[in-house]
Each structure stands twice: as structure tokens, then as C-alpha cells.
Structure 1
Amino acid sequence: MTNTATTLRTLITTWPDLRDALGDRPIHGAYGLGLRGYLATLDQHDAEQTAYDRAHAAHRRSQERDPAQLGDRPVPVSLRVYDTMRAVDAALAACAEVIASSVQTEPIPLPGPEWPANDRARRTAASRADLADPRRWRYRGRTPSAQHTALWLLARVEQRPGPFRPLSEQQERYIGGIARGALQRIEAVLDTAEGRRALDDRHRCPCGGTVEVYGGAGATPCAHCTGCGALWTEAGVIAA
């Protein structure tokens, strides 16, 4: 299995976790921004969520119904998760559009008047069946689910049968780049990826050493000075 196929499979199996998180209010990290940036991002997220809650409450009041009426009421959602889902949906759909325009074969043309009458019905049936083939990529203005699109792209990477030409190496690399970016975005929202990054010179330790921030996968972000060995969390210095 290629790296691109593995990435697409991981994205497909991770998507339900992202959908489940849509109604949650997790603490979101901001790895790579430094501890001050991490705390600022938490505050921003809380402010955005509070603003959403106010707007949502106003909407619910405007839609008040008799308690005897049946039906579901809308529930608050995580805006960050929602935005991520929509962004990944759009990115994968755009990728599929590009790939389909290159590798999807044209449907069998309908028979013209010159075709023999006894063969025209067979040709017409074959043409319509080819056009309606469910394996064809169809994007009619409504962005499909990322899972659906990733499955279609995976089938192209694995050269599954259908009305398609094989992918070139360049096309597979293009799919892989889009898929990796989408998966990284999902993992950042779900906080399932670990990482480490050195901050720039604006955020040096008082000793002059380089500060590295690391965390992810649910762990509390920490900062470490590569010079004096000082260690910080958002609560302050824990070792020096």
C-alpha cells in the first residue's frame, strides 16, 4: 500500500471521530504558537464559543414552539470542528475534480442515425449505463462528504476498475499532498498528533537559549530551553 493510500484510509477511519466531536467542547491546543499563543488561542476559542451560544440561544427563542410539539431542537456545535469539516470537504472535492478531469473517460456516445436499427437499442443502453456508472465522479454544486471523496480518491490510487485511466506519479503525489494536509488539520483539531517546534528569536529564553514547544495527543503543551534546560507549562516555570 502506498503512503497516499495509507493517508486516505486513516482520514476515512478518523472522520467519524471528527463528526462525533462536532457536538463536544474540547480544549483545543495551539501547538507551535508558544505558550502565550496557546493560552490566547484558548481564550479566543472560548470567546467564539460564547458568541455562538448567544446567537444560538437567540435563534432558539425566535423558533420557540409549543412544548407539546414534537421534533428535534438544534444543539450547540463546536465551530472549530465544523469549520475543519467544511474545509476538508472542500479541499478533497476540489482535488477529486482535478483528478476526474484528467483520468475519467468520456461516456460511450449515443448512436447516431447512421447506426443500424437493430443495433441502436443495444448501443443506447450501453451508453446510458456508462453515463450512469456510480463509480464516476459527479459534483453537482453540493460538496460531498470527505469520507465519500476520500473513498473515491483511494479507488483511483489503488487502480480499482472503472471508467478511468491510471493515475500518473504526479497525480498520485498531488492527491497525497492534499490528503496529508487534510489529515493534519483533523489531527490538530482532535489533538491526536504529537509534535515539536522551535520558537523563533522573538521568544528566546532569558538565558539566550532557543525555546522548543512540544505537546499534542492530549498532553499539556510544554516549553523547554535548549540552553539552560528550563521547562515551562502554561502554569509557569516547573524546572530551571
Structure 2
Amino acid sequence: MTTAATHLRTIALHWTDLSEAAGTPAQLGAFGLGLRGYLARLDQADAEQLEYERHQAAHLRSLERDPIQLGDRPVPVRLHILDTMRLVEAALVACADDIARTAQRAPISVPAARKADYRTLREARIAYEDRQRRTQLAIADQRDPRRWRYTGRRTAPHAALWLLARVERAPGPCRRITDAEEARIGKVAAGAADRVERALDIAAQRRTLEQLHDCGGAIDVHGGEGRPPLAHCTGCGAVWSEGGVIAA
């Protein structure tokens, strides 16, 4: 059984891959919505690429007319990847916010300066050193990198790693999370990891199409993990891909 920790590690490890994939051309080896859906995606991608090249050619001609404008050819942005990143990051950060509000203790307060009359210089020195020590402890606690913050670095990988530390009961300025809190983290992590894996096509998938084969058998489509999808008839045993029948 896949654990919350595994899901959170998947997100943290593949976030850079997701960022890079957002600005690179699509790899059309994805699972899709079945064999017909896969073929439709190929046709759509060809049309989108032709449209992109037409606009790019017009853009380059405009640059030739205006030699002041210089720059590299823009990289097509994959909007579905960006949408995945936005949704995953929002879910993980919101989950970390909620867990931190209940499980993370408040920072130690810096001791306030106060006026006091000391009978001896030794008493004054002891009080000063104690106040300095407590001030240093408070500052160190406030700056503890294990502390979740509501400003600053609020990224998906940072939230995933912070939640991973809570799931694994790592030391830090937090109490041990409850079973309900762990279940909440697990549910969010599973959904986020699934989105990341689907966007990168790194998860094996299998789906049975509603349409039956000519022999009346059900059609199972296998794909994912970067592989082109294969269709298999559970009735007659035929196997085929987008390129045609492989075995019958």
C-alpha cells in the first residue's frame, strides 16, 4: 500500500521535472482516454504545432523588419502542466497551514527589557547573561528552519517536505500529529501525487473502454510511464497500438 510519505516524496522529487516539463513540447506517449482519444490527441497536437509555427514565422518576420528587437525563440508553454502545479501547490500549502495552526507551537517570546535595581554588580551580570541566553533561544526558535511559516517560502516541494517530517514524526517545534491529521495529510498527498504522476506520465495506468471489440470482448488499454498505449481485447486476444494490429 502506498503511504503518505511515498506520495510526498514523489511530489518533492519530481517538482523540478514538472517545472521543466511546463516549458517543453509535449511528449505524446501518454495514456490518454483510450486508443481513439490517443489518436485524436496526435491529430490535435499536429494542428497546434502547425498553428504555432505559423504564428512564430510571422513573429520572426516582424523581427526582421525591426532589427532592434532581439531574443530567442519562445518555448511553448504547456498550460495543463502549469494548472497541475498551481493546484498541487495550493492544496499542499493549505494543508500545511491547517496542520501548523494546530500542531506547531508558538515561537518563544523574546524577553522584554526591564529596569531593575540590583544590590551587587554580580547580580546585575547574572541577570544580563540570563536575559541574553533567553533572547538567543527565542531568536533561534523563531528562525528554526523546521518551522512552517505563513510568509516567504510557500512552495509545493517545501510544503511536501514539511508535511513529510510531520508524518515521519521528525523532531521540530511541533507536537506529534493525530491520526485524523495524518489521514488528512495522506488524502491531500495522494491526490497531489496522482496529479503530478499523470502530468509527467510516470504512472502505469489501465482502463477498460466502454466500446466493445467486433468480437464482443472488452477492450483494455494499457499505458503510462512514458509508453505508447496498447489495446488488448479480452475476448479474442487481439493486441494493437496506434500503428495498427500487433497480434490477433
Q: TM-score, normalised by structure 1?
A: 0.76
- SS of match in other structure, 1:15: helix
In structure 2, runs of 5+ residues without a counterpart are 117-126
Out of 147, 152, 160, the residue aligned to residue 136 of structure 1 is 147
> Match for 2:183: what amino acid?
R
Change in Cα spacing, 1:83 to 1:136, as seen in structure 2 (3 Å) is: same
CA apart distance, 1:221:
0.5
Match of 1:199 in 2: 209
Asked whether the 8 Å contact 1:191–1:217 carries over to 2, the reply is yes
Query: Matched residues in 2 for 1:196 and 1:86: separation?
Result: 26
Q: CA deviation at 1:104?
A: 1.0
- Secondary structure of 1:82's aligned partner: helix
Q: CA RMSD in A?
A: 3.6
Q: Which residue matches 1:66?
A: 68
What is the DSSP-based 3-state SS (H/G/I as helix, E as strand, rest coil) of the residue aligned with 1:179?
A: helix
Aligned to 1:148: 158
In structure 2, distance between residues paired with 1:89 and 1:155: 17
Q: Give the Å deviation of 1:150.
A: 1.4
Q: By how many angstroms is 1:128 displaced? A: 4.6
Instruction: Establish whether residue 208 from structure 1 lines up as the match of residue 210 from structure 2.
Output: no
Aligned residue number for residue 233 of structure 1:
241
**Maintained 8 Å contact 1:209/1:227:** yes
* Cα distance in 1 between the residues matched to 2:181 and 2:77: 36
Query: Which one scores higher on RCO, CA 8 angstroms, separation ≥ 6?
Result: 2
Residue type at the aligned position of 1:66: I
Aligned 8 A contact 2:25 2:76 in 1 = no
Name the amino acid aligned to 1:195: Q
- Which deviates the most, 37-46 or 88-97? 37-46
Task: Summarize the alignment of residues 1-240 of structure 1 with structure 2, pairs less than 5 Å apart.
Answer: 3-29=3-29, 31=31, 33-44=33-44, 66=68, 75-109=75-109, 126-140=137-151, 144-200=154-210, 203-240=211-248
Moved more, 113-122 or 27-36: 113-122
What SS class does the counterpart of residue 39 from structure 1 fall into?
A: helix
Q: In 2, are the aligned partners of 1:30 and 1:41 still within 8 Å (CA)?
A: no
Q: How much does 1:165 deviate?
A: 0.9
Partners of 2:135 and 2:241 in 1: CA distance: 69
**1:27 CA displacement:** 2.3
Identity, % of aligned pairs?
54
**Separation of aligned partners in 1, 2:174 and 2:180:** 16
Map Cα deviations across residues 158-203 of structure 1 (whole Å, 9 max, x no partner).
2222210111223223222322322222222222222212223xx1
* TM-score (ref. length: structure 2): 0.74
Per-residue CA shift, 1:100-124, capped at 9, x if unaligned? 1221112234657999796766656
Tell me the SS of whatever aligns to 2:16.
Answer: helix
Structure 1 spans left out of the alignment, 5+ residues: none
For the residues of structure 2 that align with 1:92 and 1:53, how far apart are their CA atoms?
Answer: 37
Cα distance in structure 1, aligned partners of 2:223 and 2:240: 12
Q: How far does residue 48 in structure 1 lie from its aligned partner after superposition?
A: 6.0
